[in-house]
């Protein structure tokens, strides 16, 4: 699978830049490396993003802010459309630091993520329209205006969303082990392959497997199987879902293989397991 690095592969020559991206092809889980912070203002279609610590599925009523890193991105058409379009706004960590220092902002501390989602409102829609107008100007003029536009969008988001998202952009946690563990825990039900997990954690497959076994004392395949079967048991016990309703959600291609794996772990079939809990709940 080809990996795309943005904005590098777009040959944009300024530190702050915009790109009007449009595609008539659906894209599924494309490997993307972002080398800069990126706003993705979805205009048409739907976008799905998976990172090491967050995942989002949005349509053109929302937009994303993503920090540099490794991502899987899926692009879909809207129900009545035949293309996907997003306005991309790139800027560096130095631009973020400059903004924080200029306006003397201090974080109170919170959970840090790689991706943030925001809803459109009338101001944001007008802001995106202005970016499209700027994109038609010569590069030298664009650069100067975009510096002001970055401040504009950041001031607006800070006013209504707080400032912690800013510090997520520039924070690079040195606790690699903790980040790795949290990434696995967050993605235990996402049905990502070992190769895909190694990509979003920026490791080779062999390094990923060694790191995984060091932290979890188990092979990745065995650990993820255990977690998904535990989730299946939870669904059968608490959600009144039948085995035939959940086997695909757990990651199995057929009911028979799911039932066999469930029986190996819990000693009884999924159907019998659910019947036992239904019987207990009647008392």
The DSSP-derived string for 227-246 is: HHHHHHHHHHHHS---HHHH
Which CATH architecture best describes the domain 176-281?
Answer: Orthogonal Bundle (1.10)
Task: Classify 40 as helix, strand or coil.
Answer: strand
What is the distance of C-alpha 139 from the center of its chain? 31
| Contact of 180 with 216, CB cutoff 8 Å | no
* Boundaries of every domain in the chain: 3-170, 176-281
* C-alpha span between 197 and 183 (Å, rounded): 9
Amino acid 283: pLDDT: 45
Position with higher pLDDT, 37 vs 2? 37
The DSSP-derived string for 68-111 is: SEEEEEEEE--TT-S-EEEEEEEE-HHHHHHHHHHTT-------
| Contact of 234 with 222, CB cutoff 8 Å | no
Return the sign of the alpha-carbon dihedral for residues 59, 60, 63, 67.
Answer: positive
pLDDT in tens, 140-193: 899 899 999 999 999 999 999 998 899 889 887 657 888 899 899 989 988 899
pLDDT in tens, 223-256: 999 999 999 999 998 767 889 989 888 888 899 9
CATH classification of 3-170, choosing from 3.20.20.80, 2.60.120.810, 2.60.120.10, 2.40.50.100?
Answer: 2.60.120.810
Task: Classify 34 as helix, strand or coil.
Answer: strand
Amino acid 191: pLDDT: 83
The chain-wide mean pLDDT, for the chain, equals 91
In this prediction, residues 200-226 reach a mean pLDDT of 95
pLDDT in tens, 7-35: 999 999 888 999 999 999 999 999 999 99
* C-alpha span between 142 and 20 (Å, rounded): 14
């Amino acid at each position: 699978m080809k990996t795309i690095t943005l904005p590098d592969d777009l040959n944009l020559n300024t530190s702050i830049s915009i790109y009007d991206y449009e595609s008539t092809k659906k894209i599924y889980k494309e490997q993307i490396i972002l080398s800069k912070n990126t706003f993705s203002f979805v205009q048409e279609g739907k976008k799905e993003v998976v990172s090491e610590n967050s995942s989002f599925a949005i349509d053109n009523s929302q937009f994303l802010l993503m920090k540099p890193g490794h991502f899987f991105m899926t692009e879909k058409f809207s129900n009545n459309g035949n293309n996907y379009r997003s306005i991309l706004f790139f800027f560096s960590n130095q631009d973020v630091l400059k903004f924080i220092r200029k306006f003397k902002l201090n974080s109170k501390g919170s959970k840090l993520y790689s991706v943030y989602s925001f809803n459109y409102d009338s101001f944001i829609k007008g802001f995106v329209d202005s970016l499209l107008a700027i994109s038609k100007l010569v590069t030298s003029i664009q650069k100067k205006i975009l510096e002001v536009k970055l401040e504009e969008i950041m001031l607006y988001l800070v006013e209504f969303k707080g400032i912690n998202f800013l510090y997520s952009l520039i924070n690079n946690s040195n606790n690699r082990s903790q980040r790795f563990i949290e990434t696995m825990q967050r993605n235990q039900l996402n049905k990502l392959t070992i190769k895909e997990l190694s990509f979003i954690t920026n490791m080779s497959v062999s390094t990923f497997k060694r790191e995984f076994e060091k932290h979890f004392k188990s092979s990745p395949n065995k650990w993820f199987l255990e977690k998904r079967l535990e989730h299946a048991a939870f669904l059968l016990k608490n959600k009144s879902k039948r085995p035939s309703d959940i086997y695909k959600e757990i990651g199995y291609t057929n009911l028979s293989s799911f039932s066999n794996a469930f029986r190996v772990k819990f000693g009884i079939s999924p159907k019998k397991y659910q019947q036992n809990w239904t019987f207990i709940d009647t008392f």
